[in-house]
Amino acid sequence: MKSIYNLLVLLTLFSFTAHSQFIFRGKVLDFYQKLPLQGVSISLGNKVLATTDANGLFELNSTVQKTKLLFSYVGYESLSIDFINGQNKSVELHSTDDNLLSVTVKAFEKNASLKNLPITVSVLGKADLERYSNASILPAVNTVPGVKMDERSPGSYRLSIRGNLLRSPFGVRNVKVYWNGIPFTDANGNTYLNQLGFGNVGKIEIIKGPGGSMYGAGTGGVVLLNSRMAGYKENSISFSSMAGSYGLVENNLTYRNQTDQVNSTLQVSHQQSDGWRDQTATKKDIANYTASFIVSPKQTISTNIFYSDLYYQTPGGLTLAQLTANPRQSRPAAGTIRSAAQQQAALYIKTFYAGFSNEYHFSEAWSSTTSVYTSGTRFRNPSILNYQRKTEQGIGGRSVTQYQHKNFQLHMGGEFQYGFTSTRTFGNKFGVADTLQFDDEIAAKQYNIFLQSEIGITKNLILDGGLSYNNYGYGFTRLNSRPVKDLQRNFDPVVVPRISLLQKIGSNYSVYAIVSSGYSPPTIDEIVPSSGFFNSSLNAERATNYELGFRGEWIPNKLYSEVAAYFFHLNNTIVTRRDAVGADYFVNTGQTEQKGMEFSLNYYPIRNSVHFFRELKCWSNLTFIDAAFKTYQQGAIDYSGKKLTGTSPRVMVLGTDVATKIGMYVNLTYSYTDQIPLNDANSVFANSYQLFFGRLGYKKDLSKKIKGEIYLSYDKSFTTPFGLGNDLNAAGNRFFNPSAPENFLGGIKVQYNL
């Protein structure tokens, strides 16, 4: 009997050993910084099997030889990976860009966590962008404190940071935009932001205040766009489709692939809409290829090739009486001026853009990134007043060399851009080009050379400083005027400095101070506006910005707040004027002052839970701006002390996000925007308005290879009528561009993993 008992014990021990002989090991790193992550949960189903140590290492036993493990960590996207016995894998997690201190920021070439940066910058990640309808980035951008993105009509965008909208009757001006580190704003100073589709952008960094010490011209801030690349070992095809109010339809097909040497994305999309107002139909087709190639352990080559074909109608502004009578109408005829519909007012824009970048690491201390781009745009604009045709060609490049040793960083480099525009303006006769009015050639070139350094004075005190030398000029030739003359407008070279200091308080708090200068010459559309005259007397704006900021993580990975206060002084302010028939022209007015405070709060009562409610996030963003003309004389009229045109003094955004274990999620947003002065005299204001956004969705793994998502979104204005982008200093009191009071939308997405 005793022998049988011993035999049973041995068999039991052997069975236990046999079922525990499989071992999985690995290391978990941050995708961008390549630093080990401590405390990452490795789970199977709802059971946590192990966590990583201080070196990011883990080891666990399993009763099966092959399994799929889930890696979860606060502030990072969860990742599911197949493991086989004996493998020792390196796992890299992407940060979720939820504005916690772990967020990796590329602004000013830092590529560091937000807590170590003496910069006022807001980050919109994938989750932030996908909280709304997936039709536009506009709702997400408008949640950022101090930032306002306008839509005068569907497809017509403006962008202002801290109230700098005076120079933008249409388009994006005085804000420098980069896409994957390569200039997207052209040498003319214009940015065709409306050419991009929602799916072309995976992350947005918005630098507030002048960034001229490293990014050249602009007093209104800098925007860094980044494409969404393939995830770890991703090899997938995804298709998404959505349909909504007023004939909105969008289809998107994307292929993503990531290997040890290549990360590539190919995307094509089509979007169209009939519009809520008359004369607001849109259509946009896009193809985009983005890739990064690891040539060697020291060298990476990246490319971004993009083509967009955009068409959108322009309805024109309405008077208050017309707005009250019928907010859905387009601009009607008045006297001898035909209506927007009669003139078939619209924009036809076709753009090709190709950028290439080379990153090389000479050693652990020295590295260099050099990028070049070329672009071409065909532009047609039958408007109420005339018919403009343009061909724009641009080239440019940017190079940054970095040295880093212990607590010292040095960046030095430069940027060059050249643009040539052939433009002809005709009369517009019912949407057909008529008599030639102007035949012009315009050349624009700009370059800047910059130097920036960062010194860790102590472990917790960081000093950062930079300056740039900037040179800009335009050449103008009117070919249909005799004798033909070549005119020049060269701006005096300017040195733009910036200095900042950051003090870390423990590991979770920091305060910083910034003094920066800004320099912004007029864009080509301001030098040669729709009135058609070359304005050689227009001068560049100069700005000085003083700023204090605080960041704090009050409860680690749970409660985070940020506040920034600034004083911004602008000289030679450029403002829009309209002549008797409504054509734009621009003048320098004097000085403006903008004092403001921005506050953001993020709280996670639940985060990365294994229970039914996986995540609950509550957040709020507040903006307060006291912006006014300090000195502004127009003839005999003194506008000094008047509120700054186009700037709302108060904006509040509140949001709640809920994600569940079964894949269902809810995103809710409420926003309030205060009254906006629409002319320099402050005699006309746009009413304050309140908006509600809601999105309900469900994500499900349909099989091991197929993932699906379905969602519904709804947005509504509690103020009717209201406008997301009214006209400033409008001729004939046609200030108002009303927006749809509500929108419904539904969409699906299917991803097949090859």
- Condensed to tens digits (0 to 9), the pLDDT of residues 236-259 reads 999 999 999 999 999 999 999 999
Sign of CA dihedral 504, 76, 28, 612: positive
pLDDT over 90 for what percent of the chain?
61
**pLDDT value of residue 730:** 87
What tokens appear for 724 in the block? Answer: 């997301």
Residues ≥6 apart with Cβ < 8 Å to 213: 450, 452, 466, 467, 468, 496, 497, 498, 516, 517
**pLDDT value of residue 544:** 93
**pLDDT value of residue 99:** 52
Q: Distance between CA 95 and CA 31 in Å, rounded? A: 8
337: Cα within 13 Å, side-chain hemisphere: 17
| 580-587: average pLDDT | 70
Phi, psi angles (nearest 5°) of residue 108: 55, 30
Q: What is the end-to-end Cα distance of the chain in Å, rounded? A: 58
What residue type is 579 in one-letter code? D
Cβ distance 679 to 685 under 8 Å?
Answer: no
**Burial (CB count within 10 angstroms: exposed 0-12, middle 13-18, buried 19+), residue 484:** exposed
- What's the pLDDT band for 6 if we cut at 50, 70, 90? low
Sign of CA dihedral 206, 210, 212, 213: negative
Helix (H) or strand (E) holding 80: strand 79-84
Phi, psi angles (nearest 5°) of residue 179: -125, 115
pLDDT value at 232 more than 50: yes
| DSSP-derived pairing of the beta strands 222-226 and 176-179 | parallel
Instruction: From 119, 33, 221, select the one nearest 502 (Cα to Cα).
Output: 119
Q: What is the pLDDT of residues 179-197, one digit of tens each?
A: 999 999 999 888 999 999 9
| DSSP percent split of the chain into helix, strand, coil, nearest 5 | 10, 60, 35
DSSP for 330-367? PPPPBTTBPPTTTTT-EEEEEEEEEEEEEEEESSSSEE
- Side by side, the strands of the sheet bearing 203-207 are 121-124, 203-207, 222-226, 176-179, 182-183
Residues ≥6 apart with Cβ < 8 Å to 52: 27, 28, 36, 37, 38, 39, 40, 42, 58
Question: CA–CA distance from 324 to each of 165, 204, 582, 736 (Å)?
Answer: 26, 38, 22, 10
Q: Distance between CA 31 and CA 263 in Å, rounded? A: 13
| 550-578: average pLDDT | 89
**pLDDT value of residue 580:** 62
Q: What is the pLDDT of residues 197-230, one digit of tens each?
A: 999 999 999 999 888 889 987 888 999 999 988 8
Q: How many CB atoms lie within 10 A of CB 269?
A: 20
Query: Which position has the token pair 């990011």?
Result: 56
Return the bridge partners of 334, or none. Answer: 337
pLDDT value at 10 more than 60: no
What residue type is 655 in one-letter code? G
pLDDT value at 572 more than 90: no
**pLDDT value of residue 590:** 81
Mean predicted lDDT score pLDDT of the chain: 89
| 505-530: average pLDDT | 88
At 372 the three-state DSSP class reads strand
Cβ distance 159 to 151 under 8 Å?
Answer: no
Cβ distance 408 to 374 under 8 Å?
Answer: no
Q: Distance between CA 378 and CA 431 in Å, rounded? A: 17
Return the bridge partners of 130, or none. Answer: none
Instruction: From 353, 237, 363, 369, select the one nearest 292 (Cα to Cα).
Output: 369
Q: Model's pTM, two decimal places? A: 0.89
Q: Distance between CA 68 and CA 30 in Å, rounded? A: 20
Domains and CATH numbers, the chain: 19-93 (2.60.40.10), 104-190+197-204 (no CATH), 205-753 (2.40.170.20)
Phi, psi angles (nearest 5°) of residue 75: 85, 5
Q: How far is CA 223 from the centre of its chain?
A: 6
3-state secondary structure 438-486: EEEEEEEEEEEEEEEEEEECCCCEEEEEEEEEEEEEEEEEECCCCCCCE
Q: Distance between CA 516 and CA 108 in Å, rounded? A: 13
The more confidently predicted of residues 94 and 33 is 94
